[in-house]
Structure 1
Amino acid sequence: MAAAEEAYIPAAKLATDERLEWVPLSLTLVEYPQGDWLGKLLAVSSLLPFGILSGFVALILFRRDLHTITFFFGTTLNEVLNLVLKYTFCEARPMQRSALYTEYGMPSSHSQFMWFFATYMVYFVFIRLQHMNNNSLLENAWKTVITVGCVSMAALVTISRVYLQYHTWKQVLSGALVGFLFGSLWFALTYLIFTPVFPLIVSWRISEFLLLRDTTLIPNVLWFEYTNSRQEARARSRKLVSMKSQ
């Protein structure tokens, strides 16, 4: 009993103990030179992968679309591949820091993540969505904006990792190459192998319980959901008015 009491250390005492070492969550920690506005901007831009991951989680929770889930699963495999490569090459980063998720920098995980995402999105926009609205001028402009935006974000994050001395050019370019190749492979697998079995998957009982759905054959999901929700709202409004009038 006495030993247990000695082992317990109150939180207040821990907070004032000078021997206690506090460790930052280095996964989201980005350092930049003090007073360098460009470095600060690039440091913020290097957090884009975490914003994309948050978007994935929100889409999966609220939309339950199988293609989004498959895309996210590919992103996860891409990160696993990066860790395997990092601990295979064991190449040090250009500048040593006390707080880092991993001390190895070859290939850059940020660069690999962003180029995987950008590559997949470009294929998705120009191949998967090719049957929408007969390639109208507005649609082509929309596709161009998405493509340029994704590639620009990937390039910005890639440059930021070199500027902030988290990686060398060789490390970020290697990450970009791996991300491009794996993104191409994953899109091919999704488009040619996974997508044809989506209708079967959504028919499973567990899929019905989880509200999973397949929107592959719907050209414009946003317009489809907008028109259907508007029609349902009008129908319910008319029904409500009819019930009040009785």
Structure 2
Amino acid sequence: MVPGRPEPNLLQSLDLTNVQFPVGDSSGQWLAYATLVPLTVLISYAAWLAARREAACLIMFVGQLLNELLNSVLKTKWAKERPTTFLGEGYGMPSSHSQFMAFLTIYGMLHLHTYVQFRQVGWKYLVDFGLVVVSLTVAFSRIYLWYHSVAQVGMGLAIGTAFGLTYFAFIKYVIRPSGFIEWLVNHPLGQWVYLRDTTLSVHNVLEQEYLWHMSHQKNAAMNPADAKKSQ
């Protein structure tokens, strides 16, 4: 049933992409786009997990959610107001955007340098640089657009960094040695969703899959009948 015509002063917006910036401020407009990066990251998590079914993605995504939960708890506990009363909803200390990006950057860099191998190590530092630049841009956007104070953004970066370090160490030194990830992958539910863990067994997934594909193509060309049966 369609409700009656609403009154303008009784409406509220869904504070998901409703980012405001000063009229005519081109820098503010670009920074408004930058402040939406965490949303695109969450979508990327979902796409990565659906396409790859990697345990590493699931672990990082769970850490990101726990990081958000920690942010919510701290905001409620500290109850610090935002710089303005008309931008953003809820408390402002610490900045959730800054904490989100700090966790993503620190955990991502640690995972990259610990488990991933490239033919040229320089690519790792290029990824590091990109993560840091994007994270700092998002953090700065929260200050520039007056959604958070400098202290709130700084605290968000510090807590996100600390939690990223702690969570990575917990996964590496406690969860992996316990065999939990192997158990999860081999669990009927894990097998049903094709969950896999290539973190320790395959250091360059792209190269490994490329070599497998080329080998499969070669075998298919040599034995077309067998290739047709395997389809």
Instruction: Provide TM-score, normalisation by structure 1.
Output: 0.84
Are the counterparts in 2 of residues 109 and 175 from structure 1 also a CA contact under 8 Å? yes
CA distance in 2, matches of 1:18, 1:183: 45
Amino acid at match of 1:148: F
CA distance change for structure 1 residues 242 and 62 in 2, over 3 Å: closer, same or farther? closer
Task: Tell me which of 192, 195, 201 is aligned to 1:209.
Answer: 192
1:222 aligns with 2:206: yes
Q: How does 1:63-142 map to 2 (within 5 A)?
A: 63-97=52-86, 100=88, 102-129=89-116, 132=117, 139-142=120-123
C-alpha distance in 1 between matches for 2:8 and 2:25: 33
Tell me which moved more, 159-168 or 202-211: 202-211
What SS is found at the alignment partner of 2:121? Answer: helix
Distance of 1:173 and 1:79 partners within structure 2: 16
Question: How many percent of aligned residue pairs carry the same amino acid?
Answer: 33
Amino acid at match of 2:38: P
Q: What secondary structure does 1:139 align onto? A: coil
How far the C-alpha of 1:230 sits from its partner, in A, is: 2.9
- Distance in 1 separating the partners of 2:226 and 2:94: 65
Deviation, structure 1 residue 84: 0.2
- Does structure 1 residue 170 correspond to structure 2 residue 154? no
Equivalent of residue 180 in structure 1, options 147, 158, 161: 161
Supply the distance in 2 between the matched residues of 1:123 and 1:34 (Cα, whole angstroms).
40
Change in CA separation of 1:85 and 1:221 when aligned onto 2, cut-off 3 Å:
same
Give the count of matched residue pairs. 225
Q: Note if contact 2:75-2:91 (Cα within 8 Å) is conserved in structure 1.
A: yes
Q: 2:183 aligns with which of 195, 200, 205?
A: 200
The residue type paired with residue 45 of structure 2 is F
Contact 2:45 2:57 in 1 (8 A): yes
TM-score norm. by structure 2 comes to 0.89
Q: Which moved more, 1:26-35 or 1:198-207?
A: 198-207
Tell me which of 150, 157, 162 is aligned to 2:138: 157
Point out where structure 2 has 5 or more consecutive residues left out of the alignment. Answer: none
Tell whether the 8 Å contact from 1:67 to 1:195 is kept in structure 2 after alignment: no
State the AA in 2 paired with 1:106: M
Tell me which amino acid in the other structure corresponds to 1:60: L
Structure 1: runs of 5 or more not aligned: 1-9
CA RMSD of aligned residues (A): 2.1
